[in-house]
Structure 1
């Protein structure tokens, strides 16, 4: 089963926007030799399939819905501060839009965390719901994105992180650019900072 999951993960390997599986594996290659903790999001279970969860503290659990993950992640990072563990937050863009000030909290109180944006430029769970409702009601599906998309203009989360006193890179939409950016960010986390890498992902 493990081998099949690895094989499946390499389908559309060079796609842009980046696939969930590619992002999961790129992060894994950077952190697998570290003592790591994943805060919440699992990229629709791709992380659970592709990473080795060999210790009970590796993953405390999933987020509780939009606007909860960045707060949960900061709490996890604070709990592990001083342990030498690399705390990884695979952070949805819509969730961070609700509490961007959390980045300032991390800078203010020197909470180290590697934040990898799962940035599909949408509140996509709700967008899909709008599509289902449009089909059910016989209304225009082309309007389902209204109030659900995060483009025109696109938030620049790398710049946002820097503005809050953290390290920030991106947006990154070329898969080959992910790992070098993650390595640079990891070096900053080891200095005791929050470091954010904004990666542009597929909707699903």
Structure 2
């Protein structure tokens, strides 16, 4: 709907790409191979530069309080067990999550599909049931978690030992981000107003740890990066469902 195409193909991505490769390879010549090689080199260089730029942008804010999402993801990635399954419902913090989590095997990193929110709690529980010998960590936005927060009771009642990690920025940040994208990319406005979008801030922030404890799930509120690893170790060792309520910066 948003990108014009010359030939539209509806297929499983892997199947379609394999067939396209088979079709294209026989018609390639030296000139086209040279063009492809140059394009690959250009893309690789641009990727390296973007990675470097991203890391430089984080350095000045690395130790700030509340912690930035990237710092939270870095600490989590270095604390979870090697055989962990990560369920990504981190919403507007997804870029930081994908930067630090590099899955080695298929299924190590899973995500809630589509653009709707609210699926993270249930998906975390479901994946834990599917992988009883591995700890499943659901990394979930606070707004998304609140849509199905009653799922914590299910985890406690049936002793499903997953770990819920809440990205608590006190807002529907994704709405602000999308509003900025709409104003900038669609309306081509010189300035954006997403940061001040009405009714997207939680003026009374959620105490997710308290909510978890009220439903029988061990909840811990975290405000410092160095608290993350000990809390994860404790949650995994308990063999019971746990929730880590991590307070992070939500500024755009």
TM-score, length of structure 2 as denominator length: 0.66
* Among 94, 101, 105, the residue aligned to 2:150: 101
The answer to whether the 8 A contact 1:9-1:21 is kept is no
* Among 201, 220, 229, the residue aligned to 1:149: 201
| 1:44-80 Cα distance to aligned partner (Å, 9 max, x none) | 2323222331111202334432112222222112211
- TM-aligned CA distance change 1:10 to 1:147, over 3 Å: closer
Return the alpha-carbon distance in structure 2 between the equivalents of residues 37 and 114 of structure 1.
10
| 1:144-175 Cα distance to aligned partner (Å, 9 max, x none) | 44321113x221100111111111001x2222
Q: Secondary structure at the match of 1:47?
A: helix
The answer to whether the 8 A contact 2:69-2:248 is kept is yes
* Among 61, 71, 79, the residue aligned to 2:111: 61
The answer for the alignment partner of 2:24 in structure 1 is none
Return the alpha-carbon distance in structure 1 between the equivalents of residues 149 and 100 of structure 2.
29
The answer for the alignment partner of 1:174 in structure 2 is 224
The answer for the alignment partner of 1:194 in structure 2 is 241
**Are 2:164 and 1:112 aligned?**
no
| 1:79-98 Cα distance to aligned partner (Å, 9 max, x none) | 112x2x11111111001111
Return the alpha-carbon distance in structure 1 between the equivalents of residues 146 and 247 of structure 2.
15
- TM-aligned CA distance change 1:7 to 1:154, over 3 Å: closer
Higher RCO, 1 or 2 (CA under 8 Å, sep at least 6)?
A: 1
- TM-aligned CA distance change 1:127 to 1:58, over 3 Å: same
List gaps (5 residues or longer) in structure 2. 1-47
List gaps (5 residues or longer) in structure 1. none
**Are 2:85 and 1:34 aligned?**
no
**Are 2:127 and 1:80 aligned?**
no
Return the alpha-carbon distance in structure 2 between the equivalents of residues 7 and 95 of structure 1.
28
The answer to whether the 8 A contact 2:85-2:108 is kept is yes
